[in-house]
Structure 1
Amino acid sequence: MRADASENTLAVIGCGVIGSGWAARALAAGMRVQAWDPDPDAVRRFQKNIDTAWPALVRRGLAGGASREALHFFTDLDRALQGADLVQENAPERLVIKQTLLADIDARVPEQVLIGSSTSGITASELQAQCHRAPGRVIVAHPFNPVYLLPLVELVGGQHTHRDQMESARAQYERLGMRPLIVRREIEGHIADRLMEALWREALHLVNDGVATTEEVDAAIVYGAGLRWSLMGTFLTFHLAGGEGGMRHMLEQFGPALKQPWTRLEAPELTPELIERVASGSEFQAGGRSVAALEARRDRFLGELLEVVERYWPEQEGLGGRI
């Protein structure tokens, strides 16, 4: 069951897949959602995305007072921002667009209102550059798709951000049922995307070099590493690989192998041949199922998996501390 956040109002600015995910999560937490997007077709797509998310959220458990009736879509930005306790910006991943929009939002909302950006690669200091009213409250708040189910949100402050603003951000996103990870310093791509990009580059090389199909690469993750990662992540997995000696023994025994040229750090050239291999392989894996059908299958799986993972969270907190 989600914590009740019914006294809070989330302003969702930009209503694509990520913005819709934030809105659905907030509604499930009992919040009021005020959404805005300049695209005339946005409200239709927005409602469709909420329809997709809602069954999984119902299965997960709604907070007291949670209702889809608490969703309000506005064509006027001021009305969408009015009374918001938290603003979540989800504009296209282009620096000038985000800087212009965030500067506009910064000028309109009270100084104590936190403004989070869902950016996956832009730094918080870059986002703050055109904000003059209260730039420190403009931070990176990077979630993962589907936002309405996956709990991680990476929080990154910029050069104007103070520690108390980050702690306030942590508390606000926890009320949304998120697991905030405060990133210690700014870096392009933050943490999780950098790790995923490294795996993605290796996967493309394996397909490009004819070592494996897309289906075989995915099987290597689904039935192997991914099962361990969902509980322990990377470092604790390798700690166990060292037996009783733990990570120290593992590095002594296998550390020299890190020098072997297994890894390709640069992505392969996206030739027409590689694009065809990746696209046709992915379509074969889909097996004729629509994206909507695959999303529904994914959401059922993630909901059940989260129930298992959550049973181990207190133990994980004892091992690794609070994130």
Structure 2
Amino acid sequence: MSQQLTVIGTGVIGNGWIARALANGWDVVAFDPAEGAEARTRAFVANAWHALEKDGLPAGASADRLRFMPSLEEAVAGADLIQENVPERLSLKQEILAAVDAAADARVVIGSSTSGFKPSDLQRDCTAAPGRVIVAHPFNPVYLLPLVELVGGNATQATHIEQARTLYQSLDMRPLVVRREIEGHIADRLMEALWREALHLVNDGVATTEEIDAAVVYGCGLRWSLMGTFLTFHLAGGEQGMRHMLEQFGPALKLPWTKLEAPELSDELIDRVVEGCEHQAAGRPVAELDRRRDDFLVELLALTRKYWPEAEGLEGRI
């Protein structure tokens, strides 16, 4: 029997969830009261579908298994999993999640795509079954990148997380259970640190946006796609591994290399960043850049899947 994903809010992330679920043979029901939402979603899915076909589609996967509903109550009916993707305003998310919690079957997991809010705050106004309201934070493009961070709140039980883990795995995702709730979860806190430093380098005239991106693309980014941060540094220590690396390079952590705090987002900095990105885009529309990125990711995923089994022993954490 087919499973149903209900998506509340169809921006870039919501549409990404829709494309992923359709590509995995799920039925998808969406709700978004914004004018033109359905047309934008169908155009988004059509643009993503070529990459999904290259990555491989199971039998039954079809973009035609998407329906839009005129009300939230109708959208959550029959859902096996609900994903909320409204804009990042806490009061709005609390309002929408409370309405979803009141309308949906109490056994259904409700995941929020929030990149920063803690699940206990999201659960605050939910009265029906608040424990099943969790953070399920994906990464763009959701239809290709497999990581989803799962975070439970004060009302969440281990059974809720295990239920969510199983559901997201059936969407061909790699759930990472965050041990305790914290603003920004794990991955976004790491990306935010790099982003702050990148803005300082632009602001101080050290490098352009293109040069900074090149430093990541041709250097650390290649290693991170397989090993991440810690294992990469473990290898930097040679035969003695991380212990030697920390003994040798640890003192550098005391040096004032990084800025830690974000620079003031002045008009001048904004102009530098925007002009740099427009130069890199070279007049190509975002849809074209999306396709170039997707084609690359499909090939990269095919390569990394050959090596990922080494990480399968993490007790199901990822």
TM tier, shorter chain? over 0.9
User: In the TM superposition, what is the alpha-carbon distance from 1:143 to its structure 2 partner?
Assistant: 0.3
The 3-state SS of whatever aligns with 1:139 is strand
Q: 2:289 aligns with which of 289, 294, 307?
A: 294
Q: Is the 8 A contact 2:151 2:177 kept in 1?
A: yes
Give 2:213's aligned amino acid.
Answer: D
- Where structure 1 has 5 or more consecutive residues not aligned to the other structure, the ranges are 1-5
TM normalised by structure 2 equals 0.98
Give 1:198's aligned amino acid.
Answer: A
Q: 1:202 aligns with which of 194, 197, 212?
A: 197
**Which piece of structure 1 moves more, 36-45 or 297-306?**
36-45
Counterparts of 1:106-125 in structure 2 under 5 Å? Answer: 106-125=101-120
Q: 2:54 aligns with which of 35, 38, 59?
A: 59
User: In the TM superposition, what is the alpha-carbon distance from 1:317 to its structure 2 partner?
Assistant: 2.4
User: In the TM superposition, what is the alpha-carbon distance from 1:145 to its structure 2 partner?
Assistant: 0.4
Q: Is the 8 A contact 2:177 2:317 kept in 1?
A: no
The 3-state SS of whatever aligns with 2:114 is coil
Identity percentage over the alignment?
Answer: 67
Counterparts of 1:84-103 in structure 2 under 5 Å? Answer: 84-103=79-98
Residue 33 of structure 2: aligned partner: 38
TM normalised by structure 1 equals 0.97
Give 1:290's aligned amino acid.
Answer: P
Rounded Cα–Cα distance in structure 2 between residues aligned with 1:188 and 1:91: 18
Give the direction of change, closer, same or farther, for the CA distance of 1:320–1:216 in structure 2 (3 Å limit): farther
The 3-state SS of whatever aligns with 1:104 is helix
Residue 19 of structure 1: aligned partner: 14
The 3-state SS of whatever aligns with 1:69 is coil
Q: 1:235 aligns with which of 220, 230, 233?
A: 230
Rounded Cα–Cα distance in structure 2 between residues aligned with 1:290 and 1:267: 29
1:48-101, Cα deviation, whole Å (9 max, x unpaired): 111111111111111211111111011122221110000000011001111011
1:253-292, Cα deviation, whole Å (9 max, x unpaired): 1100100000111111111111111110110011111111
Residue 153 of structure 2: aligned partner: 158
Rounded Cα–Cα distance in structure 1 between residues aligned with 2:225 and 2:315: 15
Counterparts of 1:297-316 in structure 2 under 5 Å? Answer: 297-316=292-311
Give the direction of change, closer, same or farther, for the CA distance of 1:319–1:78 in structure 2 (3 Å limit): closer
User: In the TM superposition, what is the alpha-carbon distance from 1:299 to its structure 2 partner?
Assistant: 0.3
The 3-state SS of whatever aligns with 2:88 is coil
Residue 139 of structure 1: aligned partner: 134
Residue 8 of structure 1: aligned partner: 3
The 3-state SS of whatever aligns with 2:134 is strand
Residue 270 of structure 1: aligned partner: 265
Q: 2:69 aligns with which of 54, 69, 74?
A: 74
Rounded Cα–Cα distance in structure 2 between residues aligned with 1:199 and 1:211: 15
Rounded Cα–Cα distance in structure 2 between residues aligned with 1:95 and 1:299: 31
Give 1:179's aligned amino acid.
Answer: R
Give 1:28's aligned amino acid.
Answer: A
Q: Is the 8 A contact 2:175 2:317 kept in 1?
A: no
Rounded Cα–Cα distance in structure 2 between residues aligned with 1:47 and 1:69: 9
- Where structure 2 has 5 or more consecutive residues not aligned to the other structure, the ranges are none
Rounded Cα–Cα distance in structure 2 between residues aligned with 1:77 and 1:40: 15
Give 1:168's aligned amino acid.
Answer: Q
Rounded Cα–Cα distance in structure 1 between residues aligned with 2:68 and 2:46: 15
The 3-state SS of whatever aligns with 2:224 is helix
The 3-state SS of whatever aligns with 2:150 is strand
Tell whether 2:243 aligns with 1:248.
Answer: yes
Aligned pairs, number: 318
The 3-state SS of whatever aligns with 1:180 is strand
The 3-state SS of whatever aligns with 1:68 is coil
User: In the TM superposition, what is the alpha-carbon distance from 1:196 to its structure 2 partner?
Assistant: 0.3
Q: Is the 8 A contact 2:7 2:28 kept in 1?
A: yes
Rounded Cα–Cα distance in structure 2 between residues aligned with 1:276 and 1:105: 41
1:205-236, Cα deviation, whole Å (9 max, x unpaired): 00111110100000000000000000000000
Rounded Cα–Cα distance in structure 1 between residues aligned with 2:198 and 2:24: 37
Tell whether 2:211 aligns with 1:211.
Answer: no
The 3-state SS of whatever aligns with 2:306 is helix
Moved over 3 A (4+): 318-322
Rounded Cα–Cα distance in structure 2 between residues aligned with 1:245 and 1:200: 32
User: In the TM superposition, what is the alpha-carbon distance from 1:316 to its structure 2 partner?
Assistant: 2.6
**Which piece of structure 1 moves more, 207-216 or 38-47?**
38-47
**Which piece of structure 1 moves more, 10-19 or 40-49?**
40-49
Residue 128 of structure 1: aligned partner: 123
